[in-house]
Amino acid sequence: PQLGLLLLPVIMLSQLLWLIGLSALIACWNVFYEDVKYLVSVGLQLLFFLTPVIYFSEQLRYTTLVPDAYREGLFWASHLINPMAALTMAYRKAILPPITIVQENAALGQAMQFPDMPLPLWLVALNLLLGVGVALLGLGYFRKREWEFVERP
């Protein structure tokens, strides 16, 4: 985990950039469109279930529920579409030691083992670059539209 701890500030910076950019975009859209708050609420609930917090990324990558031909693509697509999935995996790999996940299946009477995956550095770098882009886009859009905001009583 020593290398992972050195990456922790980079992971935190990536999350901060995503947060700043998306917050600026959503704040601006919320002024002009009243239904944005409902879309954000539904979108956040969906992303909460797609983020590997109550399950491990390894379970998604090595699951037998998905055919072999689609398993690898589904795993990487889920981590590229949802930036919080990649960040959650990066935090977990940076802070915790490598472990083998054992999942007991009471219905089948067997245990499944999921080997530990290394932290993909390219995914951290991609997430950081996309975070910079989203932050620049969000702040630029906000600065462009901020003079159109009207104070409401």
Burial of 23 (0-12, 13-18, 19+ CB in 10 A): middle
Return the domain boundaries, the chain. 2-148
Question: Does the model's pTM come out above 0.85?
Answer: no
pLDDT tens track, the chain, 153 positions: 577 788 899 999 999 999 999 999 999 999 988 899 999 999 999 888 888 887 777 777 777 677 777 777 777 777 778 888 889 888 988 888 877 777 776 666 677 777 777 888 888 899 999 999 999 999 999 999 988 888 765
Report the alpha-carbon distance of residue 129 to residue 40 in Å, rounded.
Answer: 23
Q: Which two tokens stand for residue 87?
A: 């960040």
Identify the pLDDT of residue 20: 97
